[in-house]
Amino acid sequence: MKTTKLTLAALAFTTLSFGAMAADQVASDPLHQTAVGTISAQGGSNLDSLEAQLNAKADAAGAKSFRITSTSGQNNLHGTAVIYQ
């Protein structure tokens, strides 16, 4: 019973994390995609949290991919990214 609950919980968390990462982060302009705008995020405590915020905004904008163009700050990070369709 305990194993079943743990397995279902792990499956639920895995599904949620894959859904949150629908837009792909790219290192350069992706082929056959057009830049459609920019997004920004602030308040990240580390680079991973800032990347997650930008990813969520790219997903909300319906982007297929995004490329982080700048980050700044120390304890309160700010970043911008270009989104692509």
71 within some domain = yes
pLDDT digits (tens, 9 = 90+) for 29-78: 788 899 999 999 999 899 999 999 999 999 999 999 999 999 999 889 99
53 within some domain = yes
Given this model, what pLDDT does residue 16 score?
Answer: 47
User: What CATH number is given to the structural domain containing 80?
Assistant: 3.30.1660.10
Given this model, what pLDDT does residue 25 score?
Answer: 86
Given this model, what pLDDT does residue 17 score?
Answer: 46
16 within some domain = no
56 within some domain = yes
Given this model, what pLDDT does residue 71 score?
Answer: 95
Structural domains of the chain, count: 1
74 within some domain = yes
Residues found in the chain: 85
CA nearest neighbour of 82 among 42, 35, 31: 35
11 within some domain = no
Provide the 10 A C-beta neighbour count for residue 57.
17
Give the Cα-Cα-Cα angle 29, 58, 47 (nearest 5 degrees).
85
Given this model, what pLDDT does residue 12 score?
Answer: 52
Domain that holds residue 48: 35-84
